[in-house]
Chains A and B, each alone.
Chain A
Amino acid sequence: MNQILTLVWKDLLIHWRMAGALVVGWPIGLRLLMLMSPEDSSAARPLAGVTAMLSVGTVTPIGMAMASWLVEQERTKETFAWLRALPLSDAHIVLSKFAIVLAFYVLGGVAWLLALGNVGPAMSAPQFLSAWAVAFVLASLALLFQFISTSRFGTTTPALFVFLVFLAALPVSRSPDAVATVARWWGDPWSHAWIWSGCLATEVVVVWISWFRFRSQDAARVVA
C-alpha cells in the first residue's frame, strides 16, 4: 500500500498544476456562471442545467486524455524502466495509475459539491454518482488502451470508442419511445445500482487486463 501511495504522491507532485486547473477551475467556473444568472429568471435554471451537462460531456474526454497522458509520458520518457528498477511490483505501478485517476475524480467530485453546494442542477444524488462512475470508467478505459498498446492506437482508440458510443446513441435519441424509456430508467434509483455494479465489474476487468499486459512487456528494449 505504501508503494501505491508513494507513486500517487509522485504523480500528484508532477501533475498538480494541470489537474488542479481542471479539478478546481471547472466547478468554480460553473458556479460563477450560475451566480451571474439572475435569480428570478426562468431561463437561469435551464441554462445552469445545460451548462452542467455540457461540463460533464467536456470533462469526460479531457479526463480520458489526462489518463492517457499519465501512462504515455512514463513510456516516452522511459521512467517506467526506472520504476521497474525500484522495489515495486508491476501491480503497484498499474494500480497506482488507476488510483491517481480515481484521486483526480474524487477531488473533482468534492470540488463540484463544494462549488455548487449540492449535486448540481437537474441531477439527483444517484444520477450524479452514476455520471461520475461512468466518467471514471471511461478514463480507466483510456488507461487500459495505453497499457495494452505502445503505438498511437493507445491514444486514439479510446477517443474512437467514445465517438462510436455517441454514434450508436444517435438513433436512440430520435425515437420518442426510446428516449422515454431511457429517461424513465435514468430516473429510477434501482437502475443506478446496476450502473454502479457494471462500472465496478468493468473496472476490475480493466485493471486486471492492464496488469496482465504490462507485466508481459519488457521495461525497455535495450541493446547497447
Chain B
Amino acid sequence: MGNGGLVVAGLEKNYGEFTLGPVSFELTRGRAMGLLGSNGAGKSTLLAGVAGQLTLSRGSVAWNAEGIARPAWRHREYVSYVRDVPVLYSELTVGQTVAFVSRLRPTWRQDRANELLDVFRLDLRKPVNALSRGMKAKLGLLLAASHDVQLLLLDEVTAGVDPDTRDDIQRFLRGLVVNHGVTVIVSSHIFEDVEQVTDDVLILRRGAPVFAGTLTQVQDLVTVTLPDHVPPALRLSPLIVGSWAGPDGTTLVMPPALSAEQEESLRAAGAVRRPASVRDLYFAYRERS
C-alpha cells in the first residue's frame, strides 16, 4: 500500500461458540468503509480487534505498516475508537472529560475541540450523566476527532439518535474524510450512514465477510423487481448477485449488462428496474448466505 493505510490480514477471534473471520482487507488513507451485518455478525468484534481492544486469536492489524495490536499502545495515539454509546465517566462534566482526554492525546487540537463544541452545541459545565444519548454520541466523536487522528473506528454511533443529530454526524464524518484525509470505518445498521459517509463497503454474515467492494461498484449494479416469478433465462444466471422475496415480488441484484435473451425475458415479465442501493446488496447477501 503506497500511501500507507490499514491492512487487516487474516484477523480471527474465537469465542468458542462464535468465531469471527478470517477477515482480510485493506483501506487506503483518506477513505471510509461501511461495515454492515446483522446483530451477532461480528462487526463490533472486528472493530474492537482493529482498535487493539482484543487479543486476536490469529491474524494481524497494521496501520502504515506498523502493528496496532494491544501491546503497541503508542500507535493508538493516532487511532480513535468510539462505541455505540460512548462509555464515559458519568461523574465528570463535559469540560473535565475533554480536559482528561486532551492530557492523554499528544496531538490534541484544542481549536478543533472548540469548533466541535460549538457545532455540536455541547455545554462544558454539563455533567456527562445529564447528556442525552445523541449528545453523548457527539461528545464521543468530539473526543475521538479533536486530535491528529488518522484512523477513526466508529461502532454504530448513529444508533438511536434523532435525524438532526445523525445528519450533523454524517456531514462531520464526511468532512473528516474529504478535508482532513482521515481513514474511517463506520459500523452501522443504517444504510444511509454508509451511503452518505463511506467509499467502501464490507458485509459480514455470521462472522465471515461475504462482500467487500466500493460504493461505486454497488451503485453500478441494478435491482430488478419481478412481480410474479423469475424467468427461466435468469433463474440460474451466474450474473445474479442475489435475490430476495418481498411484498412486491422477487427482487434480483445484478450487473446492468444482460444478454439480449435475459433483457427480453425481463420485459416480458414486467420487471421494474432501478439502480441498486446498499440496502439491496445487503438483503441480496442475506438470502445467499
Q: Across chains A and B, which 3 residue pairs bring their CB atoms closest together, nearest first?
A: A85-B81, A224-B44, A219-B53
A85 touches B101 (CB 8 A): no
A77 touches B100 (CB 8 A): no
Q: A86-B101, A87-B76, A221-B15 are in contact. Are A13 and B96 (CB under 8 A)?
A: yes
Q: Is B66 an interface residue (CB 8 A)?
A: no
- Chain B residue numbers with a CB within 8 Å of A2 are 103-104
Q: What would be 26 A-B contacts, judged by CB atoms less than 8 Å apart? A: A2-B104, A6-B104, A9-B103, A14-B91, A14-B92, A81-B87, A82-B83, A82-B88, A84-B52, A85-B53, A85-B76, A85-B80, A87-B73, A88-B73, A88-B76, A89-B71, A89-B73, A90-B70, A90-B73, A215-B71, A216-B55, A218-B53, A220-B48, A222-B44, A222-B54, A223-B44
Give residues 56-115 of A contacting B (CB, 8 Å).
77-79, 81-82, 84-90, 92
Q: Is B45 an interface residue (CB 8 A)?
A: yes
Q: A86-B101, A87-B105, A224-B39 are in contact. Are A219 and B48 (CB under 8 A)?
A: yes
Give CA–CA (A14, B83) in the complex, Å: 22
Q: A89-B73, A218-B54 are in contact. Are A13 and B43 (CB under 8 A)?
A: no
Give CA–CA (A81, B39) in the complex, Å: 20
Give residues 42-97 of B contacting A (CB, 8 Å).
42-45, 48, 51-55, 70-71, 73-74, 76-77, 80-81, 83, 86-92, 96
Chain A interface size band reads: 20 to 34
- Chain A residue numbers with a CB within 8 Å of B86 are 82
- Chain B residue numbers with a CB within 8 Å of A6 are 100, 103-104
Q: A6-B103, A87-B73, A224-B39 are in contact. Are A79 and B44 (CB under 8 A)?
A: no
A77 touches B87 (CB 8 A): yes
A96 → chain B closest CB, angstroms: 11
- Chain A residue numbers with a CB within 8 Å of B55 are 216, 218
Closest B residue to A84 by beta carbon equals B53
Q: Is A124 an interface residue (CB 8 A)?
A: no
B53 touches A81 (CB 8 A): yes
Q: Is A150 an interface residue (CB 8 A)?
A: no
A222 touches B45 (CB 8 A): yes
- Chain A residue numbers with a CB within 8 Å of B15 are 221, 223
A87 touches B89 (CB 8 A): no
Give CA–CA (A82, B51) in the complex, Å: 11
Give CA–CA (A81, B70) in the complex, Å: 12
Give CA–CA (A78, B67) in the complex, Å: 25
Give CA–CA (A220, B51) in the complex, Å: 12
- Chain A residue numbers with a CB within 8 Å of B71 are 89, 215
- Chain A residue numbers with a CB within 8 Å of B80 are 85
Q: Is B40 an interface residue (CB 8 A)?
A: yes
A224 touches B104 (CB 8 A): no
B40 touches A13 (CB 8 A): no
Instruction: Encode B9-47 as 1/0 by CB contact (under 8 A) with A.
Output: 000000100101000000000000000000110111100
Closest B residue to A79 by beta carbon equals B87
Q: Is A3 an interface residue (CB 8 A)?
A: yes
A87 touches B87 (CB 8 A): no
Q: Is A213 an interface residue (CB 8 A)?
A: no
Give CA–CA (A2, B102) in the complex, Å: 12
A81 touches B91 (CB 8 A): no
Instruction: Return the contact of A223 from the options B42, B52, B103 (Cβ within 8 A).
Output: B42
Instruction: Encode B92-119 as 1/0 by CB contact (under 8 A) with A.
Output: 1000100011011110000000000000
Instruction: Encode A1-20 as 1/0 by CB contact (under 8 A) with B.
Output: 01100100110011000000
B87 touches A86 (CB 8 A): no
A155 → chain B closest CB, angstroms: 20
A50 → chain B closest CB, angstroms: 37
A87 touches B104 (CB 8 A): yes
Give residues 201-224 of A contacting B (CB, 8 Å).
215-216, 218-224
Q: A10-B92, A86-B101 are in contact. Are A219 and B54 (CB under 8 A)?
A: yes
Closest A residue to B84 by beta carbon equals A224
Instruction: Return the contact of B90 from the options A77, A222, A223 (Cβ within 8 A).
Output: A77
Give CA–CA (A92, B70) in the complex, Å: 13
